[in-house]
Structure 1
Amino acid sequence: MKRLGLPAVLALVACGSEVPVDNGRNPFLEDLSDSGKEDSGYLNPDGVEVEVDLEGDVTGGATQIKEGPAMIGQFAMTFFRKQEKLYIESLAEDASSATRAEWLIDGVWLAADKVPAGASRKRWRLRGLNAVHLFAAGTKPKVGDELIAKVPVNPFTVFRDAGDSCADSDDHIPLDQAVYWYRWEGDRPGCKAALQDLKITVSKTFSTATAAVYPEYDQLVADNKVTVAILFGQIGDEATISSSDPGVRNHARYGRMLTDAGFKSVTAPVGKRFEKTLRGGVVAQIDLYAPKDFSGLGDFEHFDNFQKALSEHEVVAYDGHSMLGASDFWTRPEYPSFYQIYLYGGCLGYEYYIKPILHGKGDSWAKLDIMSSVIEVTADATDFAAPAIAKLLFAIENGKRSSWKQVLNIVRENVGDSTFGVSGVRDNCYAPGGNRC
């Protein structure tokens, strides 16, 4: 997969939670009864997914220019994310991004592969990018709505041209050219980069008036068993994983939560395994992978464990660093053909990793739902994955009537915001009263 120059050192400094853990609430012991309120049909109780088109200019060296639109898109992604307005998918690690752009050549828009050799490329557009618009940013978006992002004209030399004048003050990730897009503040007073007003147009909206949508409960319990894997990545920056690492502490706390909820520890091929027979006879099997079993999206030594988690479990939760979207780990595994739910707890999961997981499942949502966040995640797996999984198990025991919105509402109560949504559910077939398809 194509890289845009991100150094490997980011594996140690990329986004992840270092909030100390306490024993807190245990969703597996709470009353998760549904309120009975109907679901609006999508993804996020307080937002909507849209498609947007980007149009702007780019300058740079002849060997770089084809990568320019995707690079500028990264700066726009950060610009809007910091304004809490719009959350646009990342194209930086998309191998097709260079061919996806269209270029204005002699007054005519041409696909990248139709541009004549030697033609000068400057004006470009990218169409049909996925984005999430949270309602807190204002009114519901309409087709034709336009937004403007302050972005560089030359995305390849911002560090050389502007120093730190256009970057935020967060030095957790050391500033250089490769990560400037992540720390970008194009509207900062005194920014020395040559700027442009990048036009973002809402080109498509999706209805929020559909019937309630549900996880595919019938498929989850078809064999009278539901299997879950939760991967706790290393969160700290230490060279070796210690008992004080938040990932290690969260792993231990999760085990205590399950034990308190009546789960029994049994022999596990990897990590720790907990089992419980739910009312109705369905067996819930939850595997907890510690950081030493799989430390994160750069842990090649334990990739086989990552593959095992994805291959053998119906619900897969990941709580670790996102590496600024630079990891290709989600493109590497062989994905199973059965229905799966992914609970992605790394930062900007929606922007970074929806696409590679979808591609791994055959570029089809038929057997896939993904819950992810549009911002940097401050919650750990006990706050985002535990309530989601507890709600799924509650539903299995109580008529399979909990909709995706009701699952997300429980997550929101625990996390404290509405930045987690779920993709791939609009056309789910299961319904308590029968098949929607």
Structure 2
Amino acid sequence: MWFRVFCILMAFALVGCGVGDDLPAEVDDLVPPDGKADTGYYSSLATELQGRFYSVLELDVRDLNEEAQKDLLGEYQANTAELGRLVDSQVKLAKHQLNREKLHLNLTSDNLQVSEITLEDGILRIRYTVDADTLVTYKELKEAGLDAEALVDRKYYVKVAADPRDLLARYGADCATGHNAGSLTDTNYFYYFDPDLPECTAKLAPDALFEIRSLLPPSDAYPEYDRLVEDGKVEIAVIFGAAESGAVYGGDWGVMNWRTFEVNIRLRGFEKVEGLTVGQRYMRKREGLVEIISLVSPFDLESVAPEGEAFFVELLRTHEILIYNGHSFYGSLNVLDTRENYPEDTYQILFMNSCWSYEYYTKQVFKNKVTETDSSGWELADVVNNTTYAFFTQMETSTRILVTNLLAGAISGGRDDEGRRFTWQRIIGVLNDDARGVCPEGVVGADCRRYFPKEKHEMYGVSGVRTNTFVPTGL
């Protein structure tokens, strides 16, 4: 498929930018100490806006008998979860239209409100609104001569199918463009949806639009380090998937990332221990804290292929931090969609290090972390994500940087003796600077040798942290 091949080709194109000649020391991956270099340096590359999507579903159910039509009406009236999935499938069809407006829409919506649901002459009509967050990058705002506040109250009319069900079966490739022959599926159809094609006969929802409602406030917060270490250990699962399809082999970028990461953690004092049926487990003890990394390679994933989802769930249920490096598969990985897949009453940090994971794999986590006292799901999860392409050449580095800083924050209580504060803003800043190949302010000479400026790069951020409560002792 073109999308997957593009990510792989871009990874190979950037090989000289992503791999250094020397393995970095652990201190090289840490956030800088506070001081002059801190001024304005840790701004993120994007800002989040809260929006609302307005549309109508028009489902042609004339092929059903009258009783079945009424049953379907009742099902959607009573089953908001099923209706929510149908709404999300329609919202997804606006992805590239909004991307052209420089908006990166989260493809999982919230707060579904139905203002009309009727059945007349075999047409089931559902008028609704949903809340949907979006990101816009500072670079794109600057190029347009705008600031984020100027986008508030703007409306963007979009073309989406009135009936988003079974588009491939009903229209074939007539409403899709940019894909490889034979690669279209029900899962990826939204990604290639193009209603402007002359041969596309899909009926469009009338007056569907996305409206920006407010600028969400930026937030600097700490990970909940006290909850990470309350049992005396931090358990991290790190998964490296294959870059290429077919049988896994030694030259695959996913395999090379896994091997490099393994060498790095062993050089930093992690030793192999028992305890993992698939993959390898490493452990290090520092100042009374046990640090455990369960490391999974592309070969391991290949070995459990038929039961791969169950294996992923096992890792998710037994680790406080989970990092996945690989393809997004158009947002079709379902392991984050089920509440039972998560451990109860456990704070977790998740990082789906893949293409467009902000759009694909963020809100599912929070929906399944909701409790009676926390309707947002933020209390028990922080989700690190990416707003654009993910390059396999960067995955080992970004994983290593995130793990290093989270463990440093956990062992130091959020602030070390060198003046480093391991906040989310600073950690994301280091991730983005490394992805861009920008040598941080205050770092000079040979210490800049691993930085090579890149035109295309990841844009990392973190969600769910605005209400985090941890503060280091003495602050």
TM-score category, normalised to shorter length: 0.7 to 0.9
Q: Which runs of 5+ in 2 are unaligned?
A: 65-71, 77-82, 142-146, 372-376, 415-420, 437-456
Match of 1:34 among 23, 32, 35: 32
Q: Which one has a bigger Cα radius of gyration?
A: 2
The CA deviation at 1:230 is 0.2
How far 1:425 sits from its partner (Å)?
0.6
How is 1:152-191 mapped onto 2 (pairs within 5 angstroms)? Answer: 152-153=161-162, 155=164, 167-171=176-180, 174-175=183-184, 179-185=188-194
Match of 1:394 among 408, 427, 430: 408
Partner of 2:67: none
- Alignment: residue pair count: 402
Superposed counterparts of 1:21-420, under 5 Å = 23-24=19-20, 26=24, 28-30=26-28, 32-36=30-34, 37=38, 45-62=44-61, 69-90=87-108, 100=112, 102=114, 109-110=115-116, 112=117, 115=118, 120-121=123-124, 124-138=127-141, 139-141=147-149, 143-153=152-162, 155=164, 167-171=176-180, 174-175=183-184, 179-185=188-194, 192=200, 198-208=208-218, 210=219, 212-238=220-246, 240-270=247-277, 271-278=279-286, 280-295=287-302, 299-330=305-336, 331=338, 333-362=341-370, 364-379=377-392, 380-398=394-412, 400=414, 401-416=421-436, 417=457, 419-420=459-460
Three-state SS of the structure 1 residue aligned to 2:250 is coil
Contact 1:225-1:283 within 8 A present in 2 as well: yes
User: Could you tell me which amino acid in structure 2 is paired with residue 388 of structure 1?
Assistant: L
Instruction: Give the distance between the partners of 1:151 and 1:126, measured in 2 at CA.
Output: 14
Looking at structure 2, the residues matched to 173 and 258 of structure 1 have their Cα atoms a distance apart, in angstroms, of 42
Conservation of the 8 A alpha-carbon contact between 1:55 and 1:123: no
Partners of 1:178 and 1:32 lie apart in 2 by: 39
**What SS does structure 2 have at the residue aligned with 1:376?**
coil
Q: Shift in Å at residue 76 of structure 1?
A: 0.6
**SS in structure 1 opposite 2:284?**
strand
Report the Cα distance in structure 2 between the residues aligned to 1:173 and 1:28, rounded to whole angstroms.
46
1:159 shift after superposition: 6.0
Conserved in 2, the CA contact under 8 Å of 1:294 and 1:306?
A: no
From the superposition, tell whether residues 177 and 313 of structure 1 become closer, same or farther in structure 2 (CA, over 3 Å).
closer
More helix by share: 2
Q: Distance in 1 between matches of 2:182 and 2:406?
A: 37
Q: 1:244 aligns to what SS in structure 2? A: coil
Aligned to 1:4: none
When residues 301 and 127 of structure 1 are mapped into structure 2, their CA distance, relative to the original with a 3 A threshold, is closer
Query: Deviation at 1:304?
Result: 4.4
**C-alpha displacement of 1:229:** 0.9
Question: What's the secondary structure of 1:321's corresponding residue?
Answer: coil
> Is 315-324 or 171-180 further displaced after alignment?
171-180
* In structure 2, distance between residues paired with 1:38 and 1:225: 34
Amino acid at match of 1:265: K
C-alpha deviation, 1:288, in angstroms: 0.6
The amino acid of 1:134's aligned partner reads: T
SS class of match (1:202): strand
- From the superposition, tell whether residues 170 and 304 of structure 1 become closer, same or farther in structure 2 (CA, over 3 Å): closer
**Unmatched tracts of structure 1, length 5 or more:** 1-9, 92-96, 103-108
Name the CA distance, whole Å, in 2 between partners of 1:49 and 1:55: 19
Q: TM-score, normalised by structure 1?
A: 0.77
Any conservation in 1 of the 2:46–2:135 contact (CA below 8 Å)? yes
Q: Answer yes or no: is the 8 Å Cα contact 1:16–1:320 preserved in 2.
A: no
Q: Relative to structure 1, is the Cα distance of residues 186 and 412 closer, same or farther in structure 2, using a 3 angstrom cutoff?
A: farther
Deviations 1:271-324 (A, max 9, x none): 12223333x34232212111233359x944244432332222221101123222
Contact kept? 1:75, 1:182, Cα under 8 Å: yes
Q: 1:55·1:199 contact (CA, 8 Å) conserved in 2?
A: yes
Distance 2:268 2:178 in 1: 43
Structure 1 Cα separation of the partners of residues 127 and 474 of structure 2: 47
| CA–CA separation in structure 1 for the residues paired with 2:44 and 2:380 | 22
1:133/1:265 Cα in 2 relative to 1: closer, same or farther (>3 Å)? same
Q: Percent of pairs identical after alignment?
A: 21
For the structure 1 residues 203 and 377, does the alpha-carbon distance in structure 2 shift closer, same or farther, using more than 3 Å as the test? same
In structure 1, the residue matched to 2:450 is: none
SS at match of 1:292: helix
> What RMSD in Å do the two structures reach over aligned CA positions?
3.8
Residues 30 and 288 (structure 1 numbering): CA distance in 2 closer, same or farther, change over 3 Å?
same
SS at match of 1:366: helix
CA contact (8 A) 1:317 1:342 kept: yes
Alpha-carbon distance in structure 2 between the residues aligned to 1:169 and 1:119? 34
Asked whether the 8 Å contact 1:232–1:295 carries over to 2, the reply is: no
Change (3 A) 1:118 1:133: farther
The range that moved more, 363-372 or 197-206, is: 197-206
Q: Quick one: distance in 1 between partners of 2:226 and 2:40?
A: 19
Task: Name the aligned partner's letter for residue 126 of structure 1.
Answer: T
Is residue 2:468 matched to residue 1:432?
Answer: no
